[in-house]
């Protein structure tokens, strides 16, 4: 019998969770038309139901009990939007095991456990999608996994962390110190109170692990390749690059050479008028080199509630379309590793 309604649960209701909720509510009729069924949020997992929120939601949607979501037969898709390793990693695996399809924006959990997630999804014939985990609204995972699937990808290189790109852009343009720009970035919400994950390259390394899995079909843990952040970049370094018509960017790069994947995250000088060199402020950019399609260039907003929520909704809609068509157990896991 044709499905008329598809249930979704959100795990977490911070920036990304609220952005996803807003995207679904504002585009409800459009999504229903595209899916062929209503896509309805049934539950939202939160720590404190009485906390102040950016968006008002009906109290009956809120729960603090993950098991309530897991055992609810009306919930088909679980969107894990909590971030961090625990309890998110356990929740993702439990959801896939219980026959729920999973969408996540959690690059840290994916970088740690992607092979395990994929095997679990394959065994239980559930779908795992994670477009939002890398570069927000930029459809880089979809481009690699689907649009370019007929190509042999030889290299992926990108600016995948908006915080560090904002800092380096302003330091180079204004001659401002790292410390001053970091404070501004924190005030604007581009950087966390503890910016270590961004400025030391951990965030970019997690994203590169996900990109390597999608592009090359292999798993490379973030600690298996070079990782250097931007804290050592000086004004003298930026001035020297400027004198040569170049800029410094924190680059995440993976390239196939002689059957091996060489990867790194580190500050690199690039030509100022190149694709990556022109990507400024908090924007992200990724270049994908292919043997058939040639270089593919993708750029856009890599973070924020709306861009990331948009990517999450794209994955939810893809899964919902498969459910509505009755083909949800025939769909592949995104990265086959």
Residue numbers annotated as active site: 207
Tokens coding 271: 């030509």
Residue with tokens 């292999």: 218
Instruction: Quote the DSSP letter at residue 117.
Output: H
115-to-23, 56, 203, 264, 336 alpha-carbon distances in Å: 30, 37, 19, 20, 9
- Give the DSSP per-residue string, 230-290: STT--HHHHHHHHHTTEEEEEEEEEEEETTEEEEEEEEEEEETTSTTTT--TTEEEEEEEE
Say if CB 79 and CB 55 are below 8 A apart: no
Say if CB 270 and CB 261 are below 8 A apart: no
DSSP lists the bridge partners of residue 62 as 44
Instruction: Quote the DSSP letter at residue 134.
Output: T
Phi and psi dihedrals of 309, rounded to 5?
Answer: -60, -35
CB atoms within 10 A of CB 158: 31
Buried/exposed 103-137: b ≥16 CB within 10 Å, e otherwise: bbbbbbbbbbbbeebbebbeeeebbbbbbbbbbbb
């Amino acid at each position: 019998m044709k499905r008329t309604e598809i249930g979704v649960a959100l795990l977490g209701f911070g920036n990304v969770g609220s952005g996803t909720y807003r995207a679904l509510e504002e585009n409800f009729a459009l999504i229903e038309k595209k899916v062929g069924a209503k896509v309805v949020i049934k539950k939202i997992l939160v720590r404190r139901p009485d906390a102040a929120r950016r968006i008002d939601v009906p109290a009956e949607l809120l729960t603090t009990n993950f098991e309530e979501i897991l055992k609810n037969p009306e919930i088909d898709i679980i969107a894990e939007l909590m971030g961090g390793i625990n309890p998110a990693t356990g929740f993702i695996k439990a959801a896939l095991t219980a026959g729920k399809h999973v969408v996540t924006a959690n690059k840290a959990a994916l970088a740690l456990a992607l092979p395990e997630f994929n095997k679990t999804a394959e065994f239980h014939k559930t779908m795992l999608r994670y477009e939002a985990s890398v570069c927000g609204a930029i459809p880089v995972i979809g481009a690699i996994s689907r649009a370019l699937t007929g190509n042999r990808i030889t290299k992926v290189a990108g600016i995948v962390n908006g915080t560090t790109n904002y800092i380096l852009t302003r330091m180079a343009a204004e001659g401002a110190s790292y410390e001053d720009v970091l404070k501004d970035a924190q005030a604007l919400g581009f950087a966390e109170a503890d910016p270590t994950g961004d400025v030391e390259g951990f965030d970019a390394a997690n994203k590169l692990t996900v990109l390597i899995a999608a592009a090359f079909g292999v798993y490379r843990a973030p600690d298996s390749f070079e990782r250097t952040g931007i804290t050592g970049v000086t004004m003298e370094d930026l001035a020297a690059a400027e004198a040569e018509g170049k800029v410094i960017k924190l680059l995440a790069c993976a390239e196939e050479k002689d059957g091996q994947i060489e990867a790194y995250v580190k500050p690199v000088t690039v030509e100022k008028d190149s694709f990556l060199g022109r990507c400024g402020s908090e924007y992200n950019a990724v270049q994908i080199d292919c043997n058939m399609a040639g270089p593919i260039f993708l750029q856009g907003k890599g973070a924020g509630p709306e861009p990331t929520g948009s990517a999450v909704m794209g994955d939810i809609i893809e899964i919902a379309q498969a459910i509505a068509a009755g083909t949800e157990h025939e769909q592949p896991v995104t990265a086959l590793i």
